[in-house]
Amino acid sequence: MNEPTSDRTRVKRLPERGVYDRDSLDAIIDEALICHLGFVQDGDPIVIPTIHARDGDTIYLHGSPASRMLRLMKRGAAVCVTATIIDGIVAARSVFHHSMNYRSAVVLGEARLVDDAEERLRAMEMITEHVLPGRWAEARHPSDTENKGTLIVAVPIAEFSVKTRSGPPGDDEPDYDLPIWAGVIPLAMTPGAPDPDPLLNDGIEVAESVVRFGQASS
């Protein structure tokens, strides 16, 4: 499908970059390590960065009960979830045509507070596994106090759009003869060597999830 799910999600600027299929959306949501949650509270626009995970047609978001989201989410709220992955800096011959290669996803929906204990625990597991696969089985699970101190919000994937850019610069025809370098500087997030906690007890080896994360990203 390459038609928007609603007119609200139709890409209006550079519409040829708009993509509306679920596979493209899911790939971006699943790859991005962070997303941004936007909503309006008491007439003020608020955008909060948060970690997340996708479970089928639902995006789970993690927060604090002390946050400004809580009161709003208890009664349901219209929200916007966005995730962006930058793949490169596009250096053109003209300043106007400089750009970035990117993949971005936008989801519009009504958020709900997750109160069910089983769903909350499952969401916590998925968010943990999204950031560091395999870690849930290695680490201590949340205590009752920690559970109560964690806000989980669910957003259904109903209205969405994807926008991407890839490839070389798109300069104006006369500028191709200018003696100016143009091209793409690829960007990628690469993990470094694990930095152990200074309070780590002696004799504890690097966790398997950490080792696998480094190997998968190399």
Domain residue extents for the chain: 7-87+98-169
- Report the percent of the chain where pLDDT is more than 70: 85
DSSP 8-state class, residue 20: -
In this prediction, residue 133 carries a pLDDT of 97
DSSP 8-state class, residue 124: H
Give the least confident one: 4-13, 44-53, 84-93, 172-181: 4-13
In this prediction, residue 13 carries a pLDDT of 62
**What would the pLDDT profile of 88-109 be if each residue is shown by its tens digit?**
999 999 999 999 999 999 999 9
**What would the pLDDT profile of 105-140 be if each residue is shown by its tens digit?**
999 999 999 989 899 999 999 999 999 999 999 999
Q: Is the pTM of this model over 0.85?
A: yes
In this prediction, residue 90 carries a pLDDT of 98
Q: How confident is the model at residue 66 (pLDDT cuts 50, 70, 90)?
A: low
Report how far residue 144's alpha carbon sits from residue 118's, in angstroms, rounded to the nearest whole number.
13
Asked whether residue 194 carries a pLDDT value surpassing 70, the answer given is: yes
Contacts of 171 (CB under 8 A, 6+ apart): 92, 93, 94, 97, 182
Domain 7-87+98-169 has CATH 2.30.110.10: yes
In this prediction, residue 70 carries a pLDDT of 61
Report how far residue 49's alpha carbon sits from residue 32's, in angstroms, rounded to the nearest whole number.
12
Segment 13-20 shows an average pLDDT of 60
* Tokens matching residue 64: 């604090």
* β-strands 58-63, 35-41 pairing: unpaired
Kindly provide the b/e burial profile for residues 79-114, where b requires at least 16 CB atoms within 10 angstroms of the residue's own CB: bbbbbbbebbebbbbeeeeebebbbbbbbbbebbbb
In this prediction, residue 67 carries a pLDDT of 67
Q: How confident is the model at residue 25 (pLDDT cuts 50, 70, 90)?
A: very high
Give the least confident one: 31-35, 67-71, 153-157, 200-204: 67-71
